[in-house]
Amino acid sequence: MNQSYPPFELGKSRFDQSTFWGRFRHFLDVVDPRTLFISDQKLRESKQLLHEYKTGAASADVTDQSLWEAQKIVQAIIHPDTGEKILMPFRMSGFVPFGTPIVVGLLIPNQSLMGVVFWQWLNQSHNACVNYANRNASRPTATKKFVQGYAGAVTSAVGIAVSLNVLVSRAQAMPPATRLLVQRFIPFPAVAAASTINLLLMRMHEASEGIEVLDSKSNVVGVSKNAAKKAIIQTALTRAFLPAPILLIPPVIMTLLDKTPLFRRFPRLNLPVHSLAVLASFGLALPLAISLFPQTGKIKRSDLEPEIKRNCSEDVLYYNKGL
Closest CA to 278 of 310, 245, 304: 245
Full pLDDT tens readout for the chain, 323 residues: 445 788 888 888 888 888 999 999 888 888 899 999 999 999 999 999 999 998 888 888 889 999 999 999 998 999 888 888 999 999 989 988 998 888 888 777 777 888 888 888 888 888 878 878 887 676 666 677 778 777 877 787 778 777 777 776 666 566 766 666 666 666 667 677 777 777 777 777 788 888 888 888 888 888 889 999 999 888 888 877 887 787 778 878 887 888 888 888 888 888 788 888 888 888 888 888 888 888 888 888 888 888 888 878 888 898 888 76
The rounded distance, in Å, linking the Cα atoms of 149 and 179 is 33
The rounded distance, in Å, linking the Cα atoms of 180 and 255 is 10
Could you give the residue ranges of the DSSP H alpha helices within the chain?
Answer: 20-30, 40-55, 64-77, 92-106, 113-133, 143-169, 176-185, 187-202, 204-209, 225-241, 243-257, 261-265, 270-290, 306-311
The rounded distance, in Å, linking the Cα atoms of 141 and 205 is 7
Closest CA to 86 of 126, 154, 132: 132
**Strand 220-224 to 211-214 pairing:** antiparallel
Q: Do the Cβ atoms of 292 and 239 come closer than 8 Å?
A: no
Please give the pLDDT value at position 96.
86
The rounded distance, in Å, linking the Cα atoms of 242 and 188 is 10
Please give the pLDDT value at position 179.
63
The rounded distance, in Å, linking the Cα atoms of 184 and 252 is 9
Closest CA to 91 of 125, 146, 145, 131: 131
Please give the pLDDT value at position 69.
92
